[in-house]
Amino acid sequence: MHWSTGEAAPGEQFAYWRELICAAFLALTPESDLRGGFAGDVTQWPLGALHLARITSQRQTVRRTRADIERSPARGYYANLQVRGTSLMAQGDRVTLLHPGELGVVGTDAPFRFEFGGDFQQLSFFVPADLLPEPVPTASALDTRAGVGAAVRLALESVPTARRPERLAFHAAGMLGVALDPTILDPVRAPRTHRAALEDIEGHLADDDLTPAATARRLGVSVRFLHGLFAGRPESYATTVRRLRLAKAERDLRDPALSHLRVIDVATDAGFVNVASFHRAFRRAFGRTPNEVRNLNISARTQTHP
């Protein structure tokens, strides 16, 4: 989705910008002395629970006030990657100046302020609170020129052209958690605990509360440490859970001893609460619907044992 102040009537550019910002993000309050001559545009990529936006604009101050929070109280974080220009980021008693190539995070459940002194461009990545292990160090600069920070920057820059942008965005959120706390990449503990995390997931696939917090609690590690175990691997925590649940459902549909179960029962036993999304995910993963897999298996047994 793309919005531009060029669509506004002459003299109404900044008023339109106010509406545009609130449409593209959570409620915010922008201010600028440029008014009628103001120019800016926003391109946004919805990514399921995540959102990425590219903002190109001119000098202004953007606040999230208490009134804004009351109007849109969704809890999460904005991770802003400075592309051009500079921006001052402030939240609570913390203030930092972002230069090109630096990334800063602010929480949406407390007031914050951005000050842009001139023309700028940012990539703004919205991450729900449950995807970043807390406490998150807000209003501090993260270097993206090397290490995990560079991987986060590359992922965010690649999302607009990625074949599966939602998957890449979730990987970016996981890597962001690691970049905010590099100590979770303990080379001694990680391999052993990653295996333990997989075993815990497999043992609790049918749990309604199979979440990073629940797995971390059972393993005796922090949620941030748990996310770090999956950072840099082919699958995030959430992707691993989905794959293992689908694999269990596929095995159960092929099991003659479970042929009396309805497909909805198989889906529920594997931990899926939404049957429609289960059918879509199953077909994407295996190229057949659940009923087709079951019927093919029944047909094969009948031919083998007439």
Tell me, yes or no, whether 69 and 118 share the same domain.
Answer: yes
Judge whether 178 lies within some domain.
no
Tell me, yes or no, whether 25 and 126 share the same domain.
Answer: yes
Model-level pTM?
0.61
What is the mean pLDDT of the segment spanning 292-301? Answer: 71
Per-residue confidence (pLDDT) for residue 6, from 0 to 100: 67
Judge whether 83 lies within some domain.
yes
Tell me, yes or no, whether 43 and 160 share the same domain.
Answer: yes
Tell me, yes or no, whether 30 and 156 share the same domain.
Answer: yes
Tell me, yes or no, whether 146 and 197 share the same domain.
Answer: no
What is the mean pLDDT of the segment spanning 204-216? Answer: 88
Answer whether residue 182 shows pLDDT above 80. Answer: no
Tell me, yes or no, whether 132 and 63 share the same domain.
Answer: yes
Judge whether 248 lies within some domain.
yes
Answer whether residue 19 shows pLDDT above 50. Answer: yes
Tell me, yes or no, whether 139 and 203 share the same domain.
Answer: no
Query: Which of 169 and 17 is assigned the larger pLDDT?
Result: 169
Judge whether 122 lies within some domain.
yes
pLDDT band at 188, cuts 50/70/90? very low
Two tokens, residue 148: 């995990």
CATH number for the domain that contains residue 284: 1.10.10.60
Judge whether 170 lies within some domain.
no
Instruction: Encode pLDDT of 213-242 as tens digits.
Output: 999 888 877 888 888 888 878 899 999 999
In sequence order, which residues have a C-beta less than 8 Å from that of residue 84 and are 6 or more positions away?
A: 100, 119, 120, 121
- Under DSSP, is residue 130 helix (H, G, I), strand (E, B) or coil? helix
> Containing domain of residue 255, as a range?
189-304
Judge whether 27 lies within some domain.
yes
- Under DSSP, is residue 6 helix (H, G, I), strand (E, B) or coil? helix
Tell me, yes or no, whether 30 and 104 share the same domain.
Answer: yes
Averaging pLDDT over each range in 16-20, 184-188, 263-267, which range is the top one? 263-267
Per-residue confidence (pLDDT) for residue 300, from 0 to 100: 53
Per-residue confidence (pLDDT) for residue 298, from 0 to 100: 59
Tell me, yes or no, whether 127 and 205 share the same domain.
Answer: no
Tell me, yes or no, whether 223 and 113 share the same domain.
Answer: no
Judge whether 174 lies within some domain.
no
CATH number for the domain that contains residue 69: 2.60.120.10
Tell me, yes or no, whether 81 and 31 share the same domain.
Answer: yes
Per-residue confidence (pLDDT) for residue 35, from 0 to 100: 62
C-alpha 20/C-alpha 57 separation (Å) is: 12
Q: Token match 């999304």: residue?
A: 277
Tell me, yes or no, whether 134 and 7 share the same domain.
Answer: yes
Query: Which of 185 and 162 is assigned the larger pLDDT?
Result: 162
Lowest average pLDDT, out of 21-25, 53-57, 61-65, 80-84, goes to: 21-25
- Spatial strand order in the sheet of 2-4: 2-4, 41-47, 50-57, 120-128, 76-84, 102-107, 141-143
| Number of folded domains that form the chain | 2
Number of C-beta neighbours around residue 238 at 10 A: 17
C-alpha 218/C-alpha 234 separation (Å) is: 23
Per-residue confidence (pLDDT) for residue 293, from 0 to 100: 87
Judge whether 211 lies within some domain.
yes
Which of 147, 164, 181 is the last residue in one of the domains?
164
Answer whether residue 151 shows pLDDT above 80. Answer: yes
Instruction: Encode pLDDT of 96-148 as tens digits.
Output: 999 999 999 999 999 999 999 999 999 999 999 888 877 888 898 888 988 88
